[in-house]
Structure 1
Amino acid sequence: MRSIILFDDPTIRLQLLPFTYTRPVAGIRCGIWTIAEKWSKWLKSEISYQTESHLRHRFPLIKSEDNFYINGALCPDASLIEAIEKLSPESVLLSKENEILAVRTSSPDWTPAANSIILDKHYYEEPIILIRQVWDIFLNNGAQIKADFAKITAAKQSAKLTDPFTFCYNPENIFIEEGALIKAAILNAENGPIYIGKNASIQEGAIIQGPFAIGESSVLAQGAKIRPNTTVGPFCKVGGEVSNCVIFGYSNKGHDGYLGNSVLGEWCNLGANTNNSNLKNDHTAVKLHSYITGKPESTGLLFCGLFMGDYSKAGISTMFNTGTVVGVSVNVFGAGFQSKHIPSFSWGGNAEGFTEYRFEKAIAVAKDTVSRRGIKFDETDEKIVKQVFDQTKNQR
């Protein structure tokens, strides 16, 4: 029996902070599914993780005598699946840039840094989608929605649209899961598919341009304007104007306000009239805080918005600059544009100044936030958050 193990590349993991403070690299959502869900669906197999020690209880590692280690930042496709399935024992599949894509080995001790294990090298010459940087999440989201949509619709039939007041462009490119409720909306799938998850709600007056995906039990509020290449994960509430964004899940942007070229983790909340800038006035490339260098580094992008880690919240009318990084468990509020990097467990705003978010208070708020969705914030969750609190103390 083989084991499918999604490993964290150490450099990529650092580049994908703050999202990888609280999840393995493969836990990142891009398209309809997370990367881990993609591999599980493609390989029709359970998967496990090789990740940071503080995450292992939540994301365990399961080994066997035949281990397939797959780069957790790598998005699968049919060609990649074929190449990985053909790997002989004790061999490695490398990209043209010499990045490790996959390893097949019986060794229980393999890691990306395990130079002592001799492996036969095979090179993969086809194009790949590897989520190396946080902005790669929204840059590749449209293509990944299309890829995931094709995989889902190949094996299932869409539920019927029953609302007579909803208008669809290119309805054959719209997939509706059972239990979804749609009322008086406009769904335009001419330029990409629209996926509506189980028990999701699209409320009156919502306007959607594909590619777009909304996950299980999420709500799109009245009059929401959704521009292309946007994913709303499961159990979210989203309103206002959203363009080319990924919201992982369990997060709320329930009111008017603009969010563009941005990524939100889980258990986040943006207060009413929160807005972000995604384009500089001088049209130069956006710089973003690097967790590797500790300073702003160029993304090479003209459009780049907000990146917010898990459990973070913004008060009403918060304004985020172009290229802003907000860490884990931040409470930001107040007048004026906020700092372009707000470290984890910060409390306050530019006008008021920042203090450290007391750990006991942060945990109490996290527990309350999670319990509102009928989910228990358990001891493992608290240990993960405590580890992040300790790891990030020197940033505050």
Structure 2
Amino acid sequence: MQCVILAAGEGSRMRPLTTSRPKVMLPLAGKPMLEHLIQNVRDAGITEILLVVGYHEEAIRTWFGDGAAFDVLIQYVVQRKQLGTADALRSVEPFIHDTFLMLNGDMILERSDLEKIISLPCPVMATSTTTHPESFGVVTVEGETITSLEEKSLRPKSNIINAGAYLFDAGIFSILKKIAPSSRGEYELTDALTDYIRDRTLKAYPLSVWMDVGYPWDMLTANEHLLLDLTGEKAGTIEENVIVKGQLILGKGSVIKSGTYIEGPCIIGENTVVGPNAYLRPGTTIGNNCHIGHAVEIKNSIIFDDTKIPHYNYIGDSVIGSRCNFGAGTKIANLRHDHGPVKVGGMSTGRKKFGAVIGDDVLFGINCSINTGSSIGSGTKVAPHTLVTGTIANNTVVR
């Protein structure tokens, strides 16, 4: 069996984190999101993978190569213009042998669910449930049979949604050739499923675990989940008078300096220096070549590679891009005074605690204050003693 993974899109809802990388390469628990998916596909028994790539495809090709390092065989199919999921799937037709698993590349699934899906007769759609079905494709089900599918309905007929994982055979391609562009000008895979639904042949498989990583704050939820079963591994150096409680992965060449207190689960990448006297709280994932310095506290945050947070900083419930630098005393707020859900760009995160989304190459002067729900574009420069709030475009100078 083969697996097709759609990984061509930018992920515009993830801006500014996708300024210079595709969405599927955003890091979760120390690895690109796509790597977690490929590993689970492999562990479910599928080793031939077709990756549909497009936006910043070089990042995906460089990381995964031919797949040998991950014990799989990867072929790349390029979707030059993102014209919808059906268009992406049509591009792999020449490479498909027979039955195949198809997955959106921006979600978290369990190996056990993948094993069960591929054991079923096709066609199959994986489903999940949600408290906000209006944001997804809503399905109705009778027994195991899917009876309707409606995209982003204002009046959802159920709380059961299309989870973006399917089992098809080569017969899907004859259906794809018949569909017309949607109102958005895209070829939608959901339109192709109409034939199966009408014939009552599309079966539902309810997933035990499913996480859609659609917005930056979803990264924190997925990161928290992936860290639950973390097994500690310490390949770096831990100096005397360091306290580590809970599970910690410490990468090669990294050093934790004296006086640092770590509450796991936490991940620290390679060639990163932490401390002295730093405090890392649960859920924190720090990339490679970072510096987390004296009197810095980081809580439940994702820090990308090559970022420096060196003096008297607080980072809470935030996602920080690569090559950022925080001036001494710069801090991020993560809780509203009314304890209501934090909003980013007018959209609720659904989280009582959320700090900021910060793109790549953002430079902060000393003693800056970053308000809850701020989104700061890549390449932004912030003057000392500045309050930053709201949404800041890429390459802005904030004074």
Q: TM-score, normalised by structure 2?
A: 0.69
1:270 and 1:48 mapped to 2: Cα distance? Answer: 40
Corresponding position of 1:160: none
2:238 and 2:355 mapped to 1: Cα distance? Answer: 30
Q: 5 Å matches for 1:380-391? A: none
Of 134, 155, 162, 1:99 maps to 162
Q: CA deviation at 1:227?
A: 1.0
1:46 and 1:277 mapped to 2: Cα distance? Answer: 45
Contact 2:101 2:118 (C-alpha < 8 Å) held by counterparts: no
* Number of equivalenced pairs: 311
Cα distance change, pair 93–265 in 1 and its aligned pair in 2 (3 A): same
Contact 1:284 1:302 (C-alpha < 8 Å) held by counterparts: yes
Q: CA deviation at 1:248?
A: 2.5
Q: Percent identity?
A: 26
Of 213, 232, 235, 1:131 maps to 213
Cα distance change, pair 284–89 in 1 and its aligned pair in 2 (3 A): closer
2:48 and 2:325 mapped to 1: Cα distance? Answer: 32
Cα distance change, pair 330–336 in 1 and its aligned pair in 2 (3 A): closer
Cα distance change, pair 233–47 in 1 and its aligned pair in 2 (3 A): farther
Corresponding position of 1:194: 248
The C-alpha deviation readout for 1:32-87, integer Å capped at 9, x for no partner, is 33221212333335866445x44234435444315533222221323223234335
**What SS is found at the alignment partner of 1:284?**
coil
Contact 1:73 1:132 (C-alpha < 8 Å) held by counterparts: yes
Corresponding position of 1:176: 234
Of 276, 283, 290, 2:339 maps to 283
The C-alpha deviation readout for 1:110-129, integer Å capped at 9, x for no partner, is 99823236563433242322
The unaligned stretches of length 5 or more in structure 1 are: 154-173, 290-295, 353-396
* Matched residue type, 2:283: N
Corresponding position of 1:324: 374
* Matched residue type, 2:208: E
Q: CA deviation at 1:278?
A: 0.7
Of 319, 326, 334, 1:270 maps to 326
2:23 and 2:387 mapped to 1: Cα distance? Answer: 30
- Stretch deviating more after TM superposition (13-22 or 209-218): 13-22
Contact 2:262 2:280 (C-alpha < 8 Å) held by counterparts: yes
Cα distance change, pair 100–139 in 1 and its aligned pair in 2 (3 A): closer
1:287 and 1:206 mapped to 2: Cα distance? Answer: 33
Q: CA deviation at 1:141?
A: 2.4
Q: CA deviation at 1:318?
A: 1.9
* Matched residue type, 1:83: K
Contact 2:248 2:264 (C-alpha < 8 Å) held by counterparts: yes
Work out whether 1:81 is the aligned partner of 2:114. Answer: yes
Contact 1:18 1:328 (C-alpha < 8 Å) held by counterparts: yes
Corresponding position of 1:65: 96
- Stretch deviating more after TM superposition (207-216 or 248-257): 248-257
Cα distance change, pair 256–335 in 1 and its aligned pair in 2 (3 A): closer
Contact 1:183 1:202 (C-alpha < 8 Å) held by counterparts: yes
Q: CA deviation at 1:9?
A: 7.6
Of 221, 225, 231, 2:279 maps to 225
Corresponding position of 1:260: 316
Of 247, 251, 276, 2:307 maps to 251
Of 22, 25, 43, 2:23 maps to 25
Of 379, 389, 394, 1:339 maps to 389
The C-alpha deviation readout for 1:233-259, integer Å capped at 9, x for no partner, is 222222311011111322221222100
* Matched residue type, 1:16: M
1:336 and 1:68 mapped to 2: Cα distance? Answer: 50
Corresponding position of 1:214: 268
**What SS is found at the alignment partner of 1:20?**
coil
The C-alpha deviation readout for 1:238-297, integer Å capped at 9, x for no partner, is 2311011111322221222100010012222222221111112232332211xxxxxx22
* Matched residue type, 2:257: Q
Q: CA deviation at 1:320?
A: 0.5
2:363 and 2:49 mapped to 1: Cα distance? Answer: 32
Cα distance change, pair 125–54 in 1 and its aligned pair in 2 (3 A): closer
Work out whether 1:116 is the aligned partner of 2:174. Answer: no
1:322 and 1:27 mapped to 2: Cα distance? Answer: 25
The C-alpha deviation readout for 1:198-227, integer Å capped at 9, x for no partner, is 222211211100111111222212111111
2:348 and 2:266 mapped to 1: Cα distance? Answer: 28
Contact 1:40 1:46 (C-alpha < 8 Å) held by counterparts: no
Contact 1:238 1:252 (C-alpha < 8 Å) held by counterparts: yes
1:195 and 1:217 mapped to 2: Cα distance? Answer: 13
